[in-house]
Amino acid sequence: MKESAGSFLPDFGSPATAVRILVLAEAIAVIFTISFNDTWGPNVIREFLFLSAYTFAIAIFSIAVLKIASQWLRGLSIAQGSAAVVALLLVVIVAVTEALIYALHRAGFIAHRWPAWHLPMLVHSLLIGAIVMLLALRYFFVAHKAQTDAKLEQEARMQALQSRIRPHFLFNSMNSIASLTRSDPPRAEAALQDLADLFRVLLADARKLVPISAEQEISRQYLEIEKLRLGDRLHVVWRVTNVPKNALIPTLTLQPLLENAIYHGIEPRFGGGTVRVELWTDNGDTLNVLISNPLPEVRKHAHGGGNKIAMDNIRQRLATHFEDSATLQTFEEGDQYHVKIKMPIVRNQGGRLTAETVR
């Protein structure tokens, strides 16, 4: 599928784009004034003011025309759209030049309707306008290409990070389900469904934000699978306070943390323990997640460096979604190990995401 001009053309009506165009117009006026004059004086200042007003008029009318034509331009191919933008700019230059000369003639500043400098001025303006616009279009296209490549790379990295899951979990789950196929077939069937749902999420689009309720459900399914082999050694306590129902979070935020808590906190303990999951909000705009698990009775029996790898994985995923607006902290308190996440609350209102920090 071919890209359209709308993929790289800026929003000509936005204040940021308008300011850039006006600054560029002023820069052209300054450059030409300096280039054609060795010294400054009253005549040079008048020349600069004239060029400044001229380039500003072209810039303002170009912004207006390109904004009006933006919908039509975005439906064209890249080549057609680029040619159309240049053509519209040249039409604006001709119109502004003719209107300016007519106004000067009517006001008595010039004696003739077609002064000798009229044609050279028009030709120079058209050449400069075409060159500047072609360079600007090239810049817009290269910037769009770089942004697209960076986005694709980021999405691929997110997908790779999300798809990681410890192989031992799959093997242990399948063994537990196999042991139930004869003793408790209905429970084995439910466990297989939970496992299928979990891996369906693992293979889903990593860019998606999902409702907190959906993230809680996939976490519950994961915990049900773990309880097949851990039995009464695993207890889970949930506490959810003031979390908006329409709040969205990155998919698979909770499950990796729960897997960590079980792998490093519950499995090494002979009697198991309790994993606590708390979710609450601060001032309605920040979501807090706190997952706690008991520390191993003997530290040397704890699993190795996988904990650090998993935490780095989660930090990267949060940073990809929220940049510096999300944090992940780990700390010990008494005989408990805690992981705390703070992230902006993203709300889904009629299919539209409302948090400014989400990427």
Q: Which of 125, 160, 195 is the last residue of a domain?
A: 160
* 168 occurs within a structural domain: no
Q: What is the DSSP string of 128-177?
A: HHHHHHHHHHHHHHHHHHHHHHHHHHHHHHHHHHHT---HHHHHHHHHHH
Number of domains into which the chain is organized: 2
Quick one: which H or E segment has residue 328?
A: strand 327-333
Quick one: which H or E segment has residue 353?
A: strand 352-353
Range of the domain at 255: 187-353
User: Is residue 338 pLDDT above 80, yes or no?
Assistant: yes
E strands present in 196-303: 209-211, 234-241, 247-250, 273-282, 286-294
**Banded pLDDT at 155 (limits 50, 70, 90):** low
- Helices vs strands, H then E, count in the chain: 10, 9
**Pairwise pLDDT comparison (155 vs 296), residue with the higher score:** 296
Q: Are residues 72 and 132 in the same domain?
A: yes
The per-residue pLDDT for range 71-110, each reduced to its tens digit, is: 888 888 888 888 888 899 899 989 988 888 888 777 777 7
Task: Measure the CA–CA gap between 107 and 102, rounded to whole angstroms.
Answer: 9
Q: Are residues 117 and 207 in the same domain?
A: no
* 69 occurs within a structural domain: yes
* 167 occurs within a structural domain: no
Biggest CA pair distance of the chain: 106
Q: Which of 122, 141, 160 is the last residue of a domain?
A: 160
Q: What is the mean pLDDT of residues 140-159?
A: 69
Tokens of 246: 């329409």
Q: Are residues 246 and 346 in the same domain?
A: yes
Query: How many C-beta atoms surround the C-beta of residue 195 within 10 A?
Result: 21
Q: Are residues 191 and 337 in the same domain?
A: yes
Q: Are residues 308 and 263 in the same domain?
A: yes
* 165 occurs within a structural domain: no
Q: Are residues 204 and 79 in the same domain?
A: no
* 32 occurs within a structural domain: yes
**Banded pLDDT at 356 (limits 50, 70, 90):** very low
The per-residue pLDDT for range 273-284, each reduced to its tens digit, is: 999 999 999 877
Question: How far, in whole angstroms, is CA 198 from its chain's centroid?
Answer: 26
pTM of the model: 0.52
Q: Are residues 145 and 26 in the same domain?
A: yes
Q: Are residues 279 and 317 in the same domain?
A: yes
Task: Measure the CA–CA gap between 145 and 149, rounded to whole angstroms.
Answer: 6
Check: CB of residue 279 under 8 Å from CB of residue 288. Answer: yes
* 178 occurs within a structural domain: no
Tokens of 43: 């005549």
Check: CB of residue 237 under 8 Å from CB of residue 293. Answer: no
Bridge partners, residue 92, by sequence: none
Q: Which of 160, 175, 207 is the last residue of a domain?
A: 160
Residue 359: per-residue pLDDT: 46
Q: Are residues 195 and 134 in the same domain?
A: no
Contacts of 203 (CB under 8 A, 6+ apart): 163
* 114 occurs within a structural domain: yes
Q: Are residues 140 and 288 in the same domain?
A: no
Look up the CATH number of the domain holding residue 329: 3.30.565.10
Residue 293: per-residue pLDDT: 95
One-letter amino acid of 323: E
Q: Are residues 16 and 122 in the same domain?
A: yes
**Pairwise pLDDT comparison (52 vs 356), residue with the higher score:** 52
The per-residue pLDDT for range 169-221, each reduced to its tens digit, is: 566 667 777 777 777 788 788 878 877 776 666 655 556 778 888 888 888 88
* 174 occurs within a structural domain: no
Q: Are residues 139 and 191 in the same domain?
A: no
